[in-house]
Amino acid sequence: MNIQIHENKDLTNFTTWGAKFTSQYFAELDSVEQLSELRKVSEFTTGRRFILGKGANTLFANDFEGFVLHINLRGVELAEDDGEFESYWVGAGEDWPTIVEYFVMQKNLGGLESLALVPGQVGAAPMQNIACYGATQEDTFVELEAYEIATGELKRFSKDECDFSYRMSRFKSYDKDKYIITRVKYRLKKLGADDKRVEVYESNYESLQYFLNQFGKPPYTAQQIFSAIVELRNYKLPKVSEFGSNGSMFANPIIPRAQAEELLKQFPKMQIYPHTGMTHYANKDVNLEEMELVKIPGGHIFEEIGYRTMDKYGMWNPKMHKSGKVGAWRKHALIATNYGGATSRDIYEFVMQMKQDLFDATGIELPPESNIVVS
C-alpha cells in the first residue's frame, strides 16, 4: 500500500498528554516495504522529523514544523523454541501493555511480567530501555531490527550492540534519529502451571509486596507478579485514559556520592541508591561507600520543595496546580500531569518550571527523561 502523507495533521490523540498540537507533515508506517518509498519523500529525509510510537515519552511543546512518522508495524512471530525458552519477533508498532499481557497471561511465559502496563509501543521499549520494579526490557531482549534512514539498509543489533544503560541506548544517544526500529526479539521462559518464580519481592518494594500479599508468601508466579503490578500501577499512576502524562518526567539524578551526602543535610529523609539500580532488592548487598556516583530519588526532592498537588488533607496546592490544568501527580511528584484542558505550552512551561525549581533548590541540572520537542 502506498504511503499517505497528510499535511497539518491534528495529533491530539497521538500522545498520552491529551493536549492539542499539529504536525506539518504526517504519515503512518504500516509495512517495512513502505520505507523505501518514504526515502524518496524529501520532507521526510531532509527536513526535521520525529518517529512516534504512542507518545507516552514525548512532549511536543507546540505545533511541530516537520514530519511525524507514526509506527504501525504489527505482528508477533515465534522465532525459536529450545524447550525451555521461546523467542519471539514482535512488530515495533505493537502495544507494549497488550503484548506483555499476552505473553504472561495467555502464553504463561515469564520475563516481562514486571514491565506490565508501561504505556507505549514495543519499538520504543529498547529505545529508552524501559524499566520498573527492578526489571528492565534488556533482561529478556535478544536483538532488534532497524532501518537505517541514510542508507536504506535493514540492520540487526544484538543486546551488546544496543549499548543499554539506565533509561538509555545507542538509539537515544549517539545514534539518535538515525534508525527506525522495525521489530524486536525477546526470549521468554516457558513456565509450567505451578512454576514458581525464584525472585522474592520484598524489602524496598513495600508497595508491591502489599499487592502480592493476596497470593500468600513468596515466591510468586509470573502471573501473580503481573497481576500485582497491574493493581499497583493502577493505584499509583495516572491512567492514560483519564489524565495526560508521560509518567516520570525526569530520570532520577545520578550525582557524586559526596554531593548526595551534602544534600542529606538539606533533606534528611532522602534515600540514596547505587547508580546502577533503583530500589532493587539486590541493592541490599551493595556497599554505597565504594561508589563514586549514586542515584537519588527525584520524586522525593520535588515533594520536599513543594511539588505535591494535594496536601495530606486532600487540599489542592494552588502553586503547583497551576491554572487548575497542569500539576504534579498527586501520588508521585515526578509526574507532570494534565488534569484537563492544559495546552501543550502549559505543560511545557510547567515542566521547565519544575526543572528550574529543582536547580534553584539543589544545584542539580535535571535532564528530562521524556523527549521534549520544541519547534
Ligand X SMILES: Cc1cc2nc3c(=O)[nH]c(=O)nc-3n(C[C@H](O)[C@H](O)[C@H](O)COP(=O)(O)OP(=O)(O)OC[C@H]3O[C@@H](n4cnc5c(N)ncnc54)[C@H](O)[C@@H]3O)c2cc1C
**Contacting positions for ligand X (CB under 6 A):** 16, 50-58, 71, 92, 118-121, 123-125, 127-128, 130-132, 179-181, 237-238, 240, 245-247, 371
- Least separation, in Å, of the C-beta of 59 and ligand X? 9
State the nearest-atom distance from the C-beta of 70 to ligand X, in Å. Answer: 9
* Closer to ligand X by Cβ: residue 185 or 362: 185
Residue found under cell 526470549:
187
* Sign, Cα dihedral of 218, 224, 229, 231: negative
Nearest distance in Å: CB 202, ligand X: 20
Q: How many helices (H) and strands (E) does the chain have?
A: 10, 20
Residue whose CB is less far from ligand X, 123 or 274: 123
Which of residues 123 and 263 has its CB atom nearest to ligand X in the complex?
Answer: 123
Tell me the closest approach of the beta carbon of residue 334 to ligand X, in angstroms: 10
Closest by CA position to 183, among listed 142, 129, 138: 142
Q: Are the CB atoms for 249 and 370 separated by under 8 Å?
A: yes
Q: DSSP letters along 320-362, please?
A: TSBTTTEEEETTEEEEEEE-SS--HHHHHHHHHHHHHHHHHHH
Measuring CA to CA, which residue among 197, 241, 247 is closest to residue 223? 197
Give the residue with the Cβ less far from ligand X, 110 or 126.
Answer: 126
CB-wise, 54 or 308, nearer to ligand X?
54
Q: What minimum distance in Å lies between the beta carbon of 28 and ligand X? A: 13
In DSSP notation, 119-149 reads -SBTTHHHHTT-EETTEEGGGTEEEEEEEET
Instruction: State how far the Cα of 253 lies from the Cα of 297, in Å rounded to an integer.
Output: 7
Judged by beta carbon, residue 171 or residue 267, the one nearer ligand X is 171
CA distance 145 to 212: 36
* Nearest distance, CB of residue 115 and ligand X, angstroms: 8
